[in-house]
Structure 1
Amino acid sequence: MRLVLPRLYVILDAALTGARVAEDARMLTEEGVRLIQYRSKTGSAREQLAVCRQLAEIFQSQKTTFIVNDRADVAVLCGAGGVHVGQDDLSVEDARSVAGDTLWVGVSTHNLEQVRQAAKTTSDYVAVGPVYATGTKENPDPVVGTELIRQARRETEKPLVAIGGITLERAGEVMEAGADAVVVISDIWKAPDARERVRQYQKLLSRN
């Protein structure tokens, strides 16, 4: 049975949320966001686990699927709903061996060959990007545009998640290209009113 993803997938990036992470997490659940990832590229494993346990407690009461970036071990220990791995992290199958069959495993792809390889794995969804230029990574991969989403859609029936430089103005064309969900980071956390921006996304994506 094909996994059906919520259309809005928000990343809580430690570099942007900082000490507000629990407050921001509660705001997202209050606004109906049901797929959320926590990403920290600087904290120790122990620090990440402490934060993720706090977040897991918030999300479990709201029926929100909580994804941990990179760390399958942390995902299991904190009781998250899944783990997301990149091309330089654990392989999908290694992450699966740690996370088990009940947790989601998502994987990032940046070109068509990586999409084809991801399609052969036990991944639950495939992230494609960066669709547009992004400022949330120090050394981002080359921009792939919406064309890679279209190509990926022809290659796999797995749910596709578009990531990288997604804004409210671009979300519609990304969905039209074949994405099942859009990942939003900066356009929410750098908005003057993050809660209002989430509401705008929910309204837009409910129409697409």
Structure 2
Amino acid sequence: MSDVLAGGIDAFYPIVPDADWLARLVPLGVRTVQLRIKDAPSDDVRRQIAASLEVTKACGCQLVVNDFWREAIAEGADYIHLGQEDLAAADIGAIKAAGLRLGVSTHSEEELATALAVAPDYVALGPVYETKLKAMRWAPQGLSRIGEWKSRIGALPLIAIGGITPERADAVINAGAQSVAVITDFMTAPDPEARIGVWLQWAAQIRTKSAVF
């Protein structure tokens, strides 16, 4: 089994909508978290990134900032995650010159080629399963697609996203992903903190298996 901590990304990769959610969950033991803010002014984004970095650094957690690469550079973040539209508009040279590591979303062969052309530090694939978080123009990729992607990207960490639950997560890892990105499963849970606890127990087991193999 591949090292699930390759590139600083843990096996469990929750995505949160704001710094308040991040401050709730990271102290529980989360090792990687993505801050995905939508439709906010730049000064608010910078404030939330700064607050998130304070929490993640105190807790030994890796912060990944979604989309807002200028603000991520300004606040000294380590990771930026870009979707395909944001990738096309971003200054990749500036991102890399600032020392940020880069993750890129992919949904198709064409998008994978586009992602690999910028030499990312990890690749994300989704949706693996059907997801109701938002309307998707992509059909579920399935487990076989994970193996195909992993064979294409080699040693790069592969993040799987979309409809993943703790019951499905082992199969996703066994198919070739190093990490599972999760939103709906804990955000819609009656007790999000308890659900995060379930995921953290799962991730600890994955790290143990990785150490053995």
Identity of aligned residues (%): 32
* Aligned match for 1:84, one of 58, 81, 96: 81
Q: In the TM superposition, what is the alpha-carbon distance from 1:93 to its structure 2 partner?
A: 7.6
Q: In the TM superposition, what is the alpha-carbon distance from 1:145 to its structure 2 partner?
A: 1.6
* Aligned match for 1:13, one of 17, 31, 47: 17
**Unaligned regions of 5+ residues in structure 2, if any?**
1-5, 207-213
CA distance in 1, matches of 2:150, 2:97: 27
1:183 is matched by which residue type in structure 2?
Answer: A
TM-score by length of 2: 0.84
Q: Which residue of 1 aligns with 2:201?
A: 203
Given the alignment of the two structures, is residue 131 of structure 1 paired with residue 128 of structure 2, yes or no? yes
Contact 2:33 2:61 in 1 (8 A): yes
Q: Which residue of 1 aligns with 2:70?
A: 73
TM-score by length of 1: 0.86
* Aligned match for 2:100, one of 99, 103, 118: 103
Query: What are the equivalent positions in structure 2 for 1:128-207 lying under 5 Å apart?
Result: 128-157=125-154, 158-207=156-205
Provide closer, same or farther for how the CA distance between residues 122 and 93 of structure 1 changes in structure 2, counting only shifts above 3 A. farther
Secondary structure of 1:89 counterpart: helix
**Unaligned regions of 5+ residues in structure 1, if any?**
15-20
The ranges of structure 1 where at least 4 consecutive aligned residues each deviate by more than 4 angstroms after the TM superposition are none
Q: Which residue of 2 aligns with 1:17?
A: none
Greater mean deviation of Cα atoms: 50-59 or 25-34: 25-34
Provide closer, same or farther for how the CA distance between residues 113 and 186 of structure 1 changes in structure 2, counting only shifts above 3 A. same
CA RMSD between the two structures:
2.1
Q: In the TM superposition, what is the alpha-carbon distance from 1:74 to its structure 2 partner?
A: 1.1
Provide closer, same or farther for how the CA distance between residues 40 and 206 of structure 1 changes in structure 2, counting only shifts above 3 A. same
Q: Which has the higher contact order (CA 8 A, sep 6+)?
A: 2
